[in-house]
Structure 1
Amino acid sequence: MMHKTFSCLLFSCLLVGCGSSKKAVETTETIAPKPEWVTSRPIDSNYYIGIGIASKRIHPNDYQTIAKKNALEELSSEIKVQVNANSMLFSIEKNGQFSDEFKSFTQVKSLEQVENFEIVDAYETTDEFWIFYRLSKVQHQKDKQARISKAMEDAKAQLTLAEQSQKENRVKAAFSSYFKALNSVKPYLSESLETTYNDQQVYLGAFIKQRMESMVQTLQLTPAQEKYSVYWGQPLVNNELQFVVKREGLAVSDFPVYFDFDYGRVRPKEGATNEKGIVTTALDKVREAIAIQPVNAKISLVKLYAALIEKPDEITTALLEHFSIPQSQIVLNVSAPKVYIETATKTFGKNTGDDVKNAIKQALVNREFNVVTSSRNADFTLTVTSDVKEGGTQFDMYQAHLSGMFTITDQSGTVYYTEEISNITGVQLNYTRAGEKAYSLLAEQVQEVYIPRFKRFLLK
């Protein structure tokens, strides 16, 4: 009986032991050793290399997609942009500034256009996933050349359309085709793009730029009137600031023009020519006392590009800003306004002398205004009306209160500026001298308050 019991116990122990051993085998994870390309980045002069890695913990659902994207980006970053001396990019390069922008753009396009790469290997652990891409440099160059050839054929077709529109003086249609030609070869503007066009060997990118600039230079942008004599505060809102766009003597309609003025606000800042080729801006008022103030205008290829192309982009916009563009200006010769002075001053109801008028004249001259002796020659008429009234006595001193109006009218008689004269009180030993004191105080305020305020109003 004891023998049977021992045998059963021994058999049970053996079963338990075997089960534990099997479980241990099942839970042991076999991790492959890291391949050499994971520990040491491979170098191969015949291939572009891209290795991507992604964390399974951070990206549990899409770690493979992220690793592949990273590998492709790294592979693309090895494809360097070389600027050919016969390329359009070389012809507009300035201090490396545009080249950097273009290289960033080309890097994005390279990522979009990379094809025929191969997966060399993949490796993963519990925490990470790795993938190894490579692209044959010979294959890449072959694919790139095929894309360039197609792009050049598309561009040449648009060039033919542009030149036909140019002959027919359809200016916007010509530029539309030029823009499309430029868009076709835009990813390859650092390449020479050597090809045959109309039986002539050309570098296509530089050739498109040259043809566009040649077209631009056939446009004439001229002011309707070259100069205006204006005064401080004067508005120019009645079609004075007009420019005309023509090509070979014919009006160019619906063409964008940009305006620039350093000394105030012109509105609109940009406009389009009408059927007569005329475009107009306006200046609400002359706000600076500077003698020479040009209103500048230039043809806006950037605005035209944005209007004609469905999806304008920053690279083409930056390219167009490097082009030589027709410009023009209207010169404003600015001077102080001519002011005629009128006074109607009284003391206790009786007319006074010219002391106030003389004070006004001196104040205007001190502030650089032009004083004239005839209202017909004046830009403004300055009128001061005033009277002094008795204000009573206090401690044997007599008070005289002065009140009135300070008014500026323009040539049409419209009130341009007005201010009430008040709170001026002369105090003296009698009313006569108190009235004289009040006018003396008015003369000071004309010099220190009223004329400076008027000038600020003109130029604000």
Structure 2
Amino acid sequence: MRNIFYIVIAVIFLASCKAKQVVLPDPVAEQVKAPNWVSSRPNNGFKYIGVGFSEKSKGENYQIEAKKNALYDLASEIKVDISSNSVLYTVQNNNKFNENFNSLIKLSNSDNIEGYSLVDSYENDKQYWVYYQLDKKEYADLKARKKQLVIDKASNLIAASFYDEKNKDFSSSLKKRIQSFGVLTPYLSEEINFDPQQTNGIKNVFDLTNLIQTQLQSINVVPQIKSPVLKPYQATYSPLLYNLELKSKTPLQNFPLMVASDEGEIMVNERTSTNGNGEVQIKVNSVEPLNQNVAFSLSPDINTLMASDSVSNAGIKLLKQFIQTPALKVSANVTNITIHVNSIENNFGKQTGLHSVETYIKQKFNGQEIRLVDIPEEADYIIESIAETKEDISSAILSANYNIKLAALIIDLQLKNRITNEVLFKTQVNDVYGYANSLDNAGLNAYSNPKINAKLAESLFFLKRKILVY
């Protein structure tokens, strides 16, 4: 009986313990609830808000990507107001320009924002979210201090540019003025004023852009007595040389330029630069027949000038909205290649009076790119042709057996550069024969042999390639 009592007590105790047992939640199964700011954007009249997220599937840098998106979102809240006294106001009717400028400001702000703080973050198995905020008053105070530092930097660059100008360093002076505009780019929608005593009378960005414009317009082309000459279809071309100077008659030294041909038939290298003497070379790559005066445009290459400096391409693009880079015109004459044909046609030492070889050569060089001249001094090239007949070695056998004479025609061809007197090509045309009862008639018959044209055509093809490259 006592044993039964103990068993009942044990069962009651175990049942009581089981009733009090606490079931712990599964931490893996429980899902963290997304905060309200993920689904509903926060609103704070004293703070700029930035919320951004990134897909975790993008890789290990998803947190950096989310932060970048949040800061860009924060920057987009910072409104860009265009002051009526700003440079940007002058082009505010250009909607496309304003849109690009605002995007540039936002990107610049997202790269340079300071004083923001992380409010919260959230992540699930697919996304990572961050929430930043920036005090509006702190931002305004910080921006004002930074703006003044930028204005001071720009003022120092402008002052230094006048020192370079005084020392006749055109490129360095212009670079400093463009640099000063570049550092001011984030503030072009606002009013910017300089201390004119520090900047040599430059009061604002309007004065600065006018100064840059005036400096670029001070470049001139030194007049040439005679324009350079171009010939069509040449293998190589000597560079065209021109001289550039400033209005002060000082050579424009070591300054980069963009080159453009006004004629589609002439191809040139797009970039060049003056040397220490102000000489600029235009490298010509190809010329087609035009037979006229042609022009080339030389424009200041600001991008190359500023390539090693801190001014961004976006800043230079903005500057070009306010200035005009003048295009200087230089010219050259495209003329025919002139050829003089000097032909001698003998038959056993006597002139034939036929001119058949000369006529055929001239026919082969008849084209829009070539002009034949009668005066050697007017020619670029001289083709010398000496044709002579002689009795062939087989003539004796034919004469003994058939009373027939055999004459061989030999033509020596030579191409010379008339100016340098250099022989550019030399060959001999042979294997052309004529036969008759006498040597004189056999020689004349050789000149009328149809084979002569085929032989001449082959040799003239290679000769012509020394003059023209199609």
**For this structure pair, what is the TM-score category when the shorter chain's length is used for normalisation?**
0.7 to 0.9
Paired-residue identity, %: 19
Question: Following the alignment from structure 2 to structure 1, what is the Cα–Cα distance between the partners of residues 91 and 298?
Answer: 23
- The aligned amino acid for 1:409 is K
Match of 1:364 in 2: 365
Change in Cα spacing, 1:358 to 1:150, as seen in structure 2 (3 Å) is same
Superposed counterparts of 1:93-108, under 5 Å: 99=98, 101-108=100-107
5+ long unaligned stretches in structure 2: 399-404
Match of 2:36 in 1: 36
What secondary structure is seen at the aligned counterpart in 1 of 2:365? helix
TM-score, normalised relative to structure 2: 0.74
- The aligned amino acid for 1:192 is E
Change in Cα spacing, 1:451 to 1:161, as seen in structure 2 (3 Å) is same
Match of 2:134 in 1: 135
Q: Between 200-209 and 101-110, report the one with greater CA deviation.
A: 200-209
Match of 1:180 in 2: 179
1:341, CA displacement in angstroms?
1.0
Match of 1:271 in 2: 273
Superposed counterparts of 1:420-435, under 5 Å: 421=429, 435=446
Question: Following the alignment from structure 1 to structure 2, what is the Cα–Cα distance between the partners of residues 446 and 80?
Answer: 81
CA contact 1:299–1:325 (8 Å) conserved in 2: yes
1:357, CA displacement in angstroms?
1.1
1:415, CA displacement in angstroms?
2.3
What secondary structure is seen at the aligned counterpart in 1 of 2:184? helix
Superposed counterparts of 1:51-450, under 5 Å: 51-54=51-54, 66-84=65-83, 86-89=85-88, 99=98, 101-123=100-122, 128-137=127-136, 139-194=138-193, 197-198=196-197, 204-225=204-225, 227-232=227-232, 237=238, 241-261=241-261, 263-264=265-266, 269-274=271-276, 277-281=277-281, 283=283, 287-290=287-290, 291-306=292-307, 309=309, 311-319=310-318, 321=320, 323-345=323-345, 352=352, 353-367=354-368, 369-386=370-387, 404-411=411-418, 412-417=420-425, 421=429, 435-438=446-449, 440=450, 442-443=452-453, 450=460
1:110, CA displacement in angstroms?
0.4
1:314, CA displacement in angstroms?
1.3
Question: Following the alignment from structure 1 to structure 2, what is the Cα–Cα distance between the partners of residues 31 and 441?
Answer: 99
- The aligned amino acid for 1:109 is S
What secondary structure is seen at the aligned counterpart in 2 of 1:245? strand
CA contact 2:258–2:272 (8 Å) conserved in 1: yes
Change in Cα spacing, 1:449 to 1:156, as seen in structure 2 (3 Å) is same
5+ long unaligned stretches in structure 1: none
What secondary structure is seen at the aligned counterpart in 1 of 2:131? strand
- The aligned amino acid for 1:79 is I
What secondary structure is seen at the aligned counterpart in 2 of 1:338? strand
CA contact 2:49–2:132 (8 Å) conserved in 1: yes
- The aligned amino acid for 2:131 is F
What secondary structure is seen at the aligned counterpart in 2 of 1:181? helix
Question: Following the alignment from structure 2 to structure 1, what is the Cα–Cα distance between the partners of residues 56 and 241?
Answer: 67
Question: Following the alignment from structure 2 to structure 1, what is the Cα–Cα distance between the partners of residues 433 and 282?
Answer: 46
Question: Following the alignment from structure 1 to structure 2, what is the Cα–Cα distance between the partners of residues 85 and 406?
Answer: 79
More strand by share: 1
Question: Following the alignment from structure 2 to structure 1, what is the Cα–Cα distance between the partners of residues 133 and 32?
Answer: 22
- The aligned amino acid for 1:413 is N
Match of 2:401 in 1: none
Question: Following the alignment from structure 1 to structure 2, what is the Cα–Cα distance between the partners of residues 420 and 101?
Answer: 70
1:111, CA displacement in angstroms?
0.7
Number of equivalenced pairs = 448
Question: Following the alignment from structure 1 to structure 2, what is the Cα–Cα distance between the partners of residues 372 and 191?
Answer: 69
Question: Following the alignment from structure 1 to structure 2, what is the Cα–Cα distance between the partners of residues 97 and 422?
Answer: 74
1:184, CA displacement in angstroms?
2.5
Question: Following the alignment from structure 2 to structure 1, what is the Cα–Cα distance between the partners of residues 270 and 70?
Answer: 50
CA contact 1:152–1:204 (8 Å) conserved in 2: no
Change in Cα spacing, 1:191 to 1:410, as seen in structure 2 (3 Å) is same
CA contact 1:236–1:284 (8 Å) conserved in 2: yes
- The aligned amino acid for 2:272 is E
Q: Between 195-204 and 181-190, report the one with greater CA deviation.
A: 195-204
Change in Cα spacing, 1:241 to 1:5, as seen in structure 2 (3 Å) is same
1:36, CA displacement in angstroms?
3.4
CA offsets 1:364-392 (integer angstroms, 9 cap, x no match):
34556332223233221112345678799
1:151, CA displacement in angstroms?
1.6
What secondary structure is seen at the aligned counterpart in 2 of 1:207? helix
TM-score, normalised relative to structure 1: 0.76
Change in Cα spacing, 1:35 to 1:296, as seen in structure 2 (3 Å) is closer
Change in Cα spacing, 1:321 to 1:73, as seen in structure 2 (3 Å) is closer
1:72, CA displacement in angstroms?
1.7
User: Alignment RMSD, CA only?
Assistant: 4.6
CA contact 2:50–2:70 (8 Å) conserved in 1: yes
Q: Between 9-18 and 239-248, report the one with greater CA deviation.
A: 9-18
What secondary structure is seen at the aligned counterpart in 2 of 1:339? strand
Question: Following the alignment from structure 1 to structure 2, what is the Cα–Cα distance between the partners of residues 266 and 383?
Answer: 34
Question: Following the alignment from structure 1 to structure 2, what is the Cα–Cα distance between the partners of residues 102 and 64?
Answer: 29
CA contact 2:259–2:268 (8 Å) conserved in 1: yes
1:55, CA displacement in angstroms?
5.6
CA offsets 1:413-440 (integer angstroms, 9 cap, x no match):
2123456657879999x977973553x4
